[in-house]
Amino acid sequence: MQPPSLHPPASKVGITLDQHIANQMELSPGATGHFTSLLYQIALAAKLVDARVRQAGLADILGYTGEVNVQGEQVQKLDEVANETFITVLKRGGRCCAIASEELEDAVFPEGTGRYAVTMDPLDGSSNIDCNVSIGTIFGVYRRKSDHHGPADVGDLLQPGRDLRAAGYVIYGSSTMLVYSTGKSVHGFTLDPTIGEFFLSHDNIRIPQRGSTFSCNEGNSIRWDESTRRWVAYLKEQHKETKRPYTARYVGSLVADAHRTLLKGGIFAYPADNKSPQGKLRLLYEANPFAFIFEAAGGKACDGKRRILDIDAKELHQRTPLVIGSPDDVADFERFARSSEPGSGSST
C-alpha cells in the first residue's frame, strides 16, 4: 500500500503561512486578530533567526561567534541572538504580556495589554551548531489568565499544556520549516529562502499509528531504571509482526528527532535516569509544545506515567521525562513503565 502523501493537494499549493493562519482564524467566531498577529510575529522572528543560522558556518571566517568580528565589534552567541530576536519582536508586536525563555532565568513581562503568554526555547540543540546539525525553535502560546488591564504575572505562564492555544517549532535544517498547531490539526510550512516566505508543504500531518524507529540516548542506559532498559531490549528483539527489531535514530537535537518521529512514526524518549531523576527536558517550552503537536497529529505524549499535557507547571524551568510518538509505540513504553510499579505483578 502507498503511504499517504505528506504534500498538500493541488488546491492548496502556494498557500503561504500568513494566508493559512488567517484562514484558520476566520473559522473561529469572535476572533479579534490578536492571536493571528502574534503568530505572524513568531513567524517573522523565525525568519530573522533563520538568516543568522545560515551565516553560522561563516563563524570562523567572519567572527560571528568569536569574541570580536571583522569590524572589531563584540559578537554574540547564536542562542543569545535568537533569544533577543524573539523577545524584541514579541515586545514590539504588543500582543504578548509574558514570555518564558530557556535563555532567561526570569520571565519577561512586556508593557501593554497583550492577551497572550509565550513560552519558548529560542534555539534548542545549540550545542549542535558547530557541527552543522539541525537546530530549532520551540514555542507555546497561552491565553493570559490575569486581567489584561493590570500587570501580567508568572501564573500566565505556569499553565498546564492542555490549555495551550497554539504550539509549534521551527527546524533550521537542510531546509527551514515551521510546523504549528492550534489544537485540531498540524501543518508544516517550508521557507523559500529566495523570497523569505513560508509555503504550505505538509498539510494536516498525521503520525502513523505505529512506527519502526526508536530515538533515545542509549549512552544513558546504565542510569535508566530496569523497565526502560527492558523496553529498549524489547525493541531490539526479532519479531516480524510488530516490525521489530526497530531502527535507532538519535540526532541529539530535540526538534530534529521529534520532527522525524512526527513524519515517519515511531518513538522519541528522554526518560528519567539516576543523574536526572526529573528528566532532562523542560516542561514549559520543550515538552508541552511537542505534546500538544503530537496529540493534535494523532500521537501520544507521556512522562511514563502521566499525560504530559496534564502535568501541573510549578516552575518556569521545570524538567520532565518526555516520551512522544505513534500511539501504539507510546502505549508500549507505558506498559513497560507500569510493569515496574510495585504490586503490578507483571513481567512484560
Sole binder of ligand AHM in the list 252, 274, 344, 346 (CB under 6 A): 252
User: In this complex, which beta carbon is closest to Mg ion, that of residue 111 or of residue 130?
Assistant: 130
By residue count, the chain amounts to: 348
Q: Which does 313 bind (CB under 5 to 8 A by kind): ligand AHM, Mg ion, none?
A: none
**Buried (b) or exposed (e) across 22-39, using 16+ Cβ within 10 A?**
eebbeeeeeeeebbbebb
Q: Which does 217 bind (CB under 5 to 8 A by kind): ligand AHM, Mg ion, none?
A: ligand AHM
CA–CA gap between residue 247 and residue 286 (Å, rounded): 24
Say which residue the cell 492577551 belongs to. 115
Q: How far is the CB of 43 from ligand AHM (least distance, A)?
A: 22
Sole binder of ligand AHM in the list 41, 83, 85, 126 (CB under 6 A): 126
Decide: is 125 part of the binding site for ligand AHM (CB under 6 A): yes
List binders of ligand AHM among 43-102 (CB under 6 A). Answer: 102
CA–CA gap between residue 144 and residue 114 (Å, rounded): 8
Q: How far is the CB of 325 from ligand AHM (least distance, A)?
A: 14
Strand order in the sheet with 116-124: 96-101, 116-124, 135-143, 164-172, 176-181, 186-192, 197-202
User: In this complex, which beta carbon is closest to Mg ion, that of residue 124 or of residue 303?
Assistant: 124
In the chain, which ranges are continuous DSSP H helix? Answer: 17-26, 34-54, 59-62, 78-93, 226-235, 254-264, 288-296, 327-339
Q: How far is the CB of 190 from ligand AHM (least distance, A)?
A: 21
Contact window for ligand AHM (CB under 6 A) among 80-88, 117-125, 291-299, 334-342 = 117-125
Residues that bind Mg ion (CB under 5 A): 102, 121, 124
Distances from the Cα of 138 to the Cα of 43, 120, 122, 282, angstroms: 12, 5, 7, 11
- By the 8 A CB rule, do 323 and 317 touch? no
Q: How far is the CB of 232 from ligand AHM (least distance, A)?
A: 14
Q: How far is the CB of 207 from ligand AHM (least distance, A)?
A: 18
Sole binder of ligand AHM in the list 253, 261, 288, 326 (CB under 6 A): 253
CA–CA gap between residue 192 and residue 304 (Å, rounded): 39
How many residues touch ligand AHM under the rule CB under 6 A: the total is 13
CA–CA gap between residue 175 and residue 160 (Å, rounded): 32
List binders of ligand AHM among 196-225 (CB under 6 A). Answer: 217
Q: DSSP 3-state assignment of 239?
A: strand
Contact window for ligand AHM (CB under 6 A) among 35-43, 204-212, 247-255, 326-334 = 247-255
Say which residue the cell 531490549 belongs to. 233
User: In this complex, which beta carbon is closest to ligand AHM, that of residue 36 or of residue 137?
Assistant: 137
User: In this complex, which beta carbon is closest to Mg ion, that of residue 17 or of residue 46?
Assistant: 46
Q: Which does 253 bind (CB under 5 to 8 A by kind): Mg ion, ligand AHM, none?
A: ligand AHM
Decide: is 36 part of the binding site for ligand AHM (CB under 6 A): no
Sole binder of ligand AHM in the list 124, 156, 273, 329 (CB under 6 A): 124
Decide: is 176 part of the binding site for ligand AHM (CB under 6 A): no
CA–CA gap between residue 323 and residue 338 (Å, rounded): 14
Q: DSSP 3-state assignment of 20?
A: helix
Instruction: Return residues touching ligand AHM (CB under 6 A).
Output: 102, 121, 124-127, 217, 252-254, 257, 270, 280
